[in-house]
Amino acid sequence: MKSSHDRRIDEARWLRGAETWYRVLVGFAFPANFRQSHAADAVLAFRDLARQVLRQRGRAALLRLCALSAARVLAQGVAERWDGGAGATGTSGAVARPRLRSATVIRTDLLHALRALRASPHFTLAVVLTFAVGVGVNTSVFSFVRGILLRPLPMADADRIVLVGQRDPTLPTGVTSPRALQAVAGQVSALERVAAFAWAGGILTGDGEPVRVTGAQVGPGYFTTLGQPPVLGREFTEDESGRRAAAVVIISHRLWRDRFGGAPDVIGRTLDLDGQRREIIGVLASGLISPHDFAFGDPGDVFVPMTWNAGEHHLGIRVLRGVARLAPGATLERANVELAAFSEALTANNPGYGQQDIGAVTLREYYVEGSRDTLLLLQGAVFLVLVIGAVNVMNLTIARGIERRHGLAVRAALGAGRSALLRTVVLEVLLAGALGGALGVFLAVGLVPFLLGLMPGNLPQLAWVRVDALTAVGGAAATLLVALLAGLVPAVRLLDAGQIADLTRSGFRSTSAVGHRRLQQALATAQVGLAVTLLVGAALLIRSFTSLMKVDLGYDPAGVRVLQIDLPAERYATAGARLRFLSAVGERLAARSEVAAVSFGSTAPQHGLNNFSSSVGIVGWEERNRSGNPWGYVRAVSPHYLSTLGLALSEGRAFEPADYVEADSPAELHMRAAIVNAEFAQRFLSGAALGRTLVLWGDSMEIVGVAEPMRYAFPGADPEPEVYVPFDGRLTSALLVVRGRPGDVQLPAVIRDVVRALDASVPLQRIPTLDELIAHTVAVPRLLMVLMGGMAAVALGIAALGIYGVLAFLVARRRSEIGIRMALGAGAAQVSGMLLREGARLVISGVALGLALAWAAGRLLGALLYGVTPRDPVVFAAVAGVLGLVGLLASWLPALRASRVDPLQALRDG
């Protein structure tokens, strides 16, 4: 009983809302004579319609109706005005003499507004610029939000495509073992068509210079699972995969176009990859969306069959990620519940291979997870800038309105109604705002490519970031809305019913000024408050970035360059051959005067190559159940690797030549010594690592040293356990790490010469410095810091203008009062003190408001900060200080002007 009563009340509330909405629309859109005769009936009829829609189709339908009505009513209103508004006045059958045609009214209004804008170019320029900047940055950031966060992936059923991997730490984006992935395919019923992928690459030889290409090795059905099967040819089959994978290859659209001229008969032709001739069996679509792109930072050109065979490797070998589709009817939640149970069972049944924690995430979430906070923060910040600008426009409009009171009064006296005056004021802001908004959209067209250039580009969605029709329409809509508001608020305030009377009576020298002043002060306070919020955000990001840059990386990046060397398989077939070549490069480089130190390894800081982890056995391990089974990032290094990077050992010794084995057959390969980092020693061995025996990949090795942890990847990330082993040439790719002498610019050329002199067939790549690699790693936080800083600066400028505007206007308005005070003996200091106090009041209340807002919003920023809390007292205090200073400056000029008022002159003018 009660619930039906509640429902009725609820319905009544919704209907009242809809009715009010419609009344406002009709009131706004239609000319007065229509409103008088028919608006009430139309509103009644709309309420009846709304009731029916609400009862039969629910609230969503009602909201849709209301939204649609807006467009229809506005269109009808415009049509009515163009028709000239000729018509009945509402008395039965009577025919009214049409009044002044509304079309003429619109034209007159427009002309008035244009003339007024031309007459005050400063005001016009301020409004246009405000909107150009505000809309420009909002449209730009929105094109990123739309392209990256809102736009669905282009594949059919894209939201059912998931990435499957080890949680790392919460998102399942880490690598897992081939064996575990195969078990997932067989046992997790919520997933189907599981296909694995891993990094792959090689050297493409044939005509011209050898080219290094990258791509992936992918399991059967990988591209079909992604909803993007090859456009030419076919995918790999089960038979083509495995240890003795077939010599076939699928190529990217890019490679097909550039190397094969887009030949339609490319299927069946061959290419030479790492000296192996492979038959091309497929060509992929252009603009392929796939997780390997995101995982490896390159869309890839060559795709080869999966060589990791689940049957041959234990669960500790974690090298693959998987893609899959949710089974029909299954949800992501169910898949993750099943995967959790599966992982638990797998871990329990296979002790000694580490914790299995496999999960699934939609491909889309995988892509956007890292950028969501950043983008939303930016969108919020640019929106604040627009709001601050709009508030400024409101303040300017009020000031202007008061200044032209005579003109308005004359029009009012000549019979212009309240609505006509209102329209004039609103139209002015609307026109100038629209012009600014249009400029803003153009600005965005230029700004977006610029911003794209600053982004480190491994997000595939960046390709969709552009100012298109929809973002432009969004920008235009935002402009109109904000401009309407920015015009309407002051216009309504200026033309309050009582004040129209004032206007006509006295050309107003009236008391209403007090009300305006309060509104102006409130607006200036709001501006300062919003600017403070932005400033706090920017200052936090700056502090976060500086502390990120101050992190002890564990190594010394100065002067170190890194070259990736990929050895062609046909010439360097054995581990021994590879080791000998790299050692020769090292020896020759060490002999050069430009080189301070040289070494090589499977990995290097800030470089993605071979950066994998593995579970590790420890003989006689008793620290069980403390922090999970031992694991670590495995780094195979040459003897002087750690010292080249400037890393001292905290215990034990470095690798010696005796630790290295030069082997030409896999059977002879084994490792004897290992160095672990302090993190590994602490986490798994309570710090007592020296002399213990590790088991890794079947080899037993003694821990001979303990190294300090290095920040291999993001400087802000926590240190991870690491295991260094002697580089024995098992891997075909290695990184040459060379420290040059200070100020030597010849180093890249020297390195190239040495490598080329030894073997010209080894492809050479760019040789970046470690500092460049670090800059790339921290590009996003830096970009965020720069953008937020820029916007905070703009906001600060506008807020300062706002304070200045209010006070300057106050001085102008109160010139005669000031004159009287001075005539009665007030000194210049007292007068300027009065103004400064006024300014201080604005600043203090604004800062208080802003700090409160920033305090409340702190949580939003938390995830993006490093080494500083979102409510950092230093930042809050500094921002308050800066604002105080700027506020003082902004108050200074008007105060100075006030103190120079000539009492006689002021009284005479007054």
CA distance 163 to 294: 12
Look up residue 625 and give its amino acid: N
Q: Per rule CB under 8 A, is residue 44 in the interface with other proteins?
A: yes
Among 9, 45, 263, 688, binds other proteins (CB under 8 A): 45
Percent of the chain that is helix, strand, coil (3-state, to 5): 55, 15, 30
Cβ–Cβ under 8 Å, residues 178 and 308: yes
Q: Nearest Cα to 746, choosing from 478, 489, 561? A: 561
CA distance 131 to 390: 8
Peptide bond into 169 cis (omega under 30): yes
Stretch of residues binding other proteins (CB under 8 A), selected from 1-9, 22-30, 378-386, 691-699:
22-30
Nearer to other proteins, 29 or 842 (CB): 29
DSSP secondary-structure letter at 174? B
Question: And the tokens for 133?
Answer: 């900047």
To the nearest 10°, the Cα dihedral for 799, 800, 805, 808?
150
Residue 807 CB, shortest distance to other proteins, in Å, is 46
Stretch of residues binding other proteins (CB under 8 A), selected from 75-83, 115-123, 243-251, 586-594:
75-83
DSSP secondary-structure letter at 807? H
Angle between helices 178-187 and 332-349 (to 10 degrees): 120
Residue 491 CB, shortest distance to other proteins, in Å, is 24
CA distance 500 to 131: 30
Stretch of residues binding other proteins (CB under 8 A), selected from 47-55, 127-135, 508-516, 863-871:
47-55
Q: Per rule CB under 8 A, is residue 296 in the interface with other proteins?
A: no
Residue 806 CB, shortest distance to other proteins, in Å, is 41
Stretch of residues binding other proteins (CB under 8 A), selected from 26-34, 326-334, 386-394, 572-580:
26-34
Among 18, 21, 31, 34, binds other proteins (CB under 8 A): 34
Count of chain residues binding other proteins (CB under 8 A):
34
Among 49, 569, 596, 896, binds other proteins (CB under 8 A): 49
Stretch of residues binding other proteins (CB under 8 A), selected from 76-84, 105-113, 369-377, 657-665:
76-84
Stretch of residues binding other proteins (CB under 8 A), selected from 92-100, 116-124, 671-679, 827-835:
92-100
Residue 89 CB, shortest distance to other proteins, in Å, is 10
- Report residue 645: phi and psi, to 5°: -80, 0
C-alpha triplet 230, 234, 238: angle, nearest 5°: 120
Question: Alpha-carbon torsion 522, 528, 532, 538, what sign?
Answer: positive
Print the binding letters for residues 96-135 with other proteins: x by CB under 8 A, - otherwise: xxx-------------------------------------
Nearer to other proteins, 30 or 581 (CB): 30
Stretch of residues binding other proteins (CB under 8 A), selected from 38-46, 103-111, 262-270, 316-324:
38-46
Stretch of residues binding other proteins (CB under 8 A), selected from 45-53, 538-546, 612-620, 705-713:
45-53
Cβ–Cβ under 8 Å, residues 765 and 564: yes
Q: Per rule CB under 8 A, is residue 473 in the interface with other proteins?
A: no
Among 24, 79, 125, 874, binds other proteins (CB under 8 A): 79
Among 6, 10, 48, 312, binds other proteins (CB under 8 A): 48
CA distance 744 to 42: 82
Nearer to other proteins, 16 or 653 (CB): 16
Q: Per rule CB under 8 A, is residue 72 in the interface with other proteins?
A: yes
Nearer to other proteins, 73 or 503 (CB): 73
Among 11, 17, 23, 38, binds other proteins (CB under 8 A): 38
DSSP letters along 787-799, please? HHHHHHHHHHHHH
CA distance 8 to 163: 48
Residue 147 CB, shortest distance to other proteins, in Å, is 36
Among 17, 27, 32, 37, binds other proteins (CB under 8 A): 37
CA distance 512 to 570: 91
Q: Per rule CB under 8 A, is residue 70 in the interface with other proteins?
A: no
Residues sharing a CB contact under 8 Å with residue 629, sequence separation 6 or more, in sequence order: 352, 353, 354, 355, 615
Nearer to other proteins, 39 or 857 (CB): 39
Among 21, 46, 366, 727, binds other proteins (CB under 8 A): 46
CA distance 312 to 67: 62
Q: Per rule CB under 8 A, is residue 14 in the interface with other proteins?
A: no
Nearer to other proteins, 48 or 570 (CB): 48
Stretch of residues binding other proteins (CB under 8 A), selected from 85-93, 623-631, 667-675, 799-807:
85-93
Nearer to other proteins, 89 or 627 (CB): 89
CA distance 768 to 776: 11
Half-sphere exposure of 355 (CA within 13 A, CB side): 16
Among 14, 27, 76, 187, binds other proteins (CB under 8 A): 76
725 to 579, 597, 678: CA distances (angstroms): 14, 20, 15
Nearer to other proteins, 81 or 400 (CB): 81
Among 18, 21, 29, 220, binds other proteins (CB under 8 A): 29
Locus of tokens 């965020």: 784
Question: And the tokens for 324?
Answer: 């899959």
Q: Per rule CB under 8 A, is residue 41 in the interface with other proteins?
A: yes
CA distance 437 to 475: 7
DSSP letters along 649-683, please? EEEE----GGG----SSGGG----EEEEEHHHHHH
CA distance 191 to 872: 45
Angle between helices 497-506 and 405-413 (to 10 degrees): 90
Nearer to other proteins, 73 or 245 (CB): 73
DSSP reduced 3-state for 262: coil
Among 4, 93, 118, 497, binds other proteins (CB under 8 A): 93
Nearer to other proteins, 28 or 855 (CB): 28
Q: Per rule CB under 8 A, is residue 54 in the interface with other proteins?
A: no
Task: Name the site residues for other proteins (rule: CB under 8 A).
Answer: 22, 25-26, 29-30, 34, 37-38, 41-46, 48-49, 52, 69, 72-73, 76-77, 79-80, 86-88, 91-93, 95-98
